[in-house]
Amino acid sequence: MAKRVLAARFMHETNTFSRVPTDMAAFRRRDFHRDNEIPTAYRGTRSAFGATFEAADTYDWQLVHPISTAATPSGLVTRDAFDAVAELVLRAASEQGPFDGVLLHLHGAMVTEAHEDGEGELLTRLRGVIGPKLPVVVTLDLHANVTQAMVDHASALIAFRTYPHIDAYERALQGADLLERAMQGAIRPKTVLARRPTIYGLNHGRTQDGPMAELLKRADALEASGAALAISVCAGFTRADIRDVGPSVTVTGDGNDPRFQKIAEEFMDYAWETRNVTTIKLLPIPEVIALARQGKPGDKPLVISDYTDNPGGGGYGDATALLKAMVDAALPDVAFHAIYDPAAVQAGLKAGLGRTTLTLGGKTDPSLGGGPLTLEGEITTITNGKFIAYGPMGGGVARDHGPSLVFRVGGIDIVLITNNGQANDLGQFTSLGIDPARYRTVAVKSMHHFRAAFEPIARRIVEVDTGALCAELYSTELFRKVRRPVHPLDAL
């Protein structure tokens, strides 16, 4: 008989230092699909739900999928938004059952107004409805802050193994395969957790080389040998003042066996020893401007990443310090993504194509990364902000930055967007008529995800510190709720 599977996706990476609350409107703006809207949006895409539908076809599952939603990383998820989305999952669990298993696509770093551990709370409530026995497989972001509650209430946790994250599809397939075997009774997945007293580690999850790459290699080997069903190495998300922030390793094994905990502890010993290894090198603004000046006509672009104003890490996306320096330097031939500023876009729409004066950015918190900039220029393109992301991270999924325009100031083409979002797909430029490969300098707001799409077109990549929200700062003033002692707040 066909197995009945409850599937849902509810993702948010919460930057608790952000002053922008994440409400229901934030989820609806970015990505919010109910019931029958979900196959229309995701069938045939290389996304978590795309994989879920394929698995359902392969294993002949009857899927119930009440909700798929994600919001751009930002501040605390409001109580109302969390309860409303959780309720959709819980109601489906109680009213559309019985189910043989559950497959959830979560982030793992959600913090709500009421709960430091959003995913742990969701899973706790779900167990309250479905009971302790049903297999529940959860896919997670590699930047999850994994907690004991998540481990206790999920049968298996399967985290991304790539950063930039280009394997949501593969991990969802892996999770679906594990769920199928568990529903058949062939395995009884149980998960254990190891952590260490540190806020950061594993080179913030960079998988190209270094400690994260080493542990993933070991994890691949152990999974292939059958020593464990799944091993997930999570770097954690450091922009969260919560008790359980930090890196973790979970091992999912068949049944209870002390050797699973031993593997997890050995992995975390290595993560602890290498906690200060970093390949992140943030340059000051004048240095990247000087590098940009060296570009010659016909060069491939210098790609400058504004690490600290990354909307993918909760950055406001409206910091202006880098843009101001570029304008002051009268840099030629620059494509800039982006300034998030719905009001400036509206003013631009009113003005229409042609020359005008706009006041851009610096509105969410003018004290971080530069205040508003008033510039004279020309509006050259206006779009609805919709495009399909075909890049390595995009999976062929539709995206929507809301009404968007290109504002040309001197030699700088500035993209203005209505819905905030990190630059990680060339479509964010090309949908506005900009071919970034043809510019001498390309500026993006992103820490690392931009590399998947932009490294192939870049002559060089540099990261800049503009003093915006996502600066790597660790102090007892910022981190009040974290467990103590903890590295680097205490001498350990």
Of 143, 153, 324, 399, which one interacts with Zn ion (CB under 5 A)? 143
Supply the minimum distance, in Å, between the C-beta of residue 237 and Zn ion: 7
Binding of residue 12 to Zn ion (CB under 5 A): no
Contact 418, 385 (CB under 8 A): yes
Supply the minimum distance, in Å, between the C-beta of residue 141 and Zn ion: 4
Stretch of residues binding Zn ion (CB under 5 A), selected from 117-125, 140-148, 315-323, 330-338: 140-148
Number of residues in contact with Zn ion, rule: CB under 5 A? 2
In the 3-class helix/strand/coil scheme, how is the chain assigned residue by residue?
CCCEEEEEEEECEECCCCCCCECHHHHHHHEEEECCHHHHHHCCCCCHHHHHHHHHHHHCCEEECCEEEECCCECCECHHHHHHHHHHHHHHHHHCCCCCEEEEEECCECCECCCCCHHHHHHHHHHHHHCCCCCEEEEECCCCCCCHHHHHHCCEEEECCCCCCCCHHHHHHHHHHHHHHHHCCCCCEEEEEEECCECCCHHHHCCCCCHHHHHHHHHHHHHHHCCCCEEEEECCCCCCCCCCCCCEEEEEEECCCHHHHHHHHHHHHHHHHCCCCCCCCEECHHHHHHHHHCCCCCCCCEEEEEHHHCHHHCCCCCCCHHHHHHHHCCCCCEEEEEEECHHHHHHHHHHCCEEEEEEECCCCCCCCCCCCEEEEEEEEEEECCEEEECCCCCCCEEEECCCEEEEEECCEEEEEECCCCCCCCCHHHHCCCCCHHHCCEEEECCCCCCHHHHHHHCCEEEEECCCCCCCCCCCCCCCCCCCCCCECCCCC
Supply the minimum distance, in Å, between the C-beta of residue 158 and Zn ion: 14
Stretch of residues binding Zn ion (CB under 5 A), selected from 124-132, 133-141, 412-420, 453-461: 133-141
- 162 versus 441: smaller Cβ distance to Zn ion: 162
- 115 versus 204: smaller Cβ distance to Zn ion: 204
Supply the minimum distance, in Å, between the C-beta of residue 449 and Zn ion: 8
Contact 108, 71 (CB under 8 A): no
- 145 versus 364: smaller Cβ distance to Zn ion: 145
Supply the minimum distance, in Å, between the C-beta of residue 109 and Zn ion: 8
- 141 versus 465: smaller Cβ distance to Zn ion: 141
Binding of residue 119 to Zn ion (CB under 5 A): no
Contact 340, 316 (CB under 8 A): yes
- 56 versus 393: smaller Cβ distance to Zn ion: 393
Stretch of residues binding Zn ion (CB under 5 A), selected from 19-27, 30-38, 91-99, 134-142: 134-142
The candidate with the shortest Cα–Cα distance to 163, out of 194, 146, 189, 140, is: 140
Stretch of residues binding Zn ion (CB under 5 A), selected from 135-143, 189-197, 275-283, 401-409: 135-143
Q: Which residue has the tokens 């969701």?
A: 122
**Nearest residue to Zn ion on Cβ basis:** 143
Supply the minimum distance, in Å, between the C-beta of residue 143 and Zn ion: 4
Supply the minimum distance, in Å, between the C-beta of residue 92 and Zn ion: 27
Tally of residues, the chain: 492
- 50 versus 313: smaller Cβ distance to Zn ion: 313
- 141 versus 341: smaller Cβ distance to Zn ion: 141
Stretch of residues binding Zn ion (CB under 5 A), selected from 48-56, 72-80, 136-144, 192-200: 136-144
Query: How far apart (Å, rounded) are the C-alpha atoms in residues 178 and 188?
Result: 10
Stretch of residues binding Zn ion (CB under 5 A), selected from 69-77, 115-123, 139-147, 416-424: 139-147
- 73 versus 135: smaller Cβ distance to Zn ion: 73
Supply the minimum distance, in Å, between the C-beta of residue 165 and Zn ion: 6
Binding of residue 141 to Zn ion (CB under 5 A): yes
- 361 versus 392: smaller Cβ distance to Zn ion: 392
- 29 versus 143: smaller Cβ distance to Zn ion: 143
- 393 versus 416: smaller Cβ distance to Zn ion: 393
Supply the minimum distance, in Å, between the C-beta of residue 205 and Zn ion: 7
Supply the minimum distance, in Å, between the C-beta of residue 240 and Zn ion: 13
Supply the minimum distance, in Å, between the C-beta of residue 331 and Zn ion: 31
Stretch of residues binding Zn ion (CB under 5 A), selected from 138-146, 292-300, 374-382, 481-489: 138-146
| Residues lying near Zn ion in the complex (CB under 5 A) | 141, 143
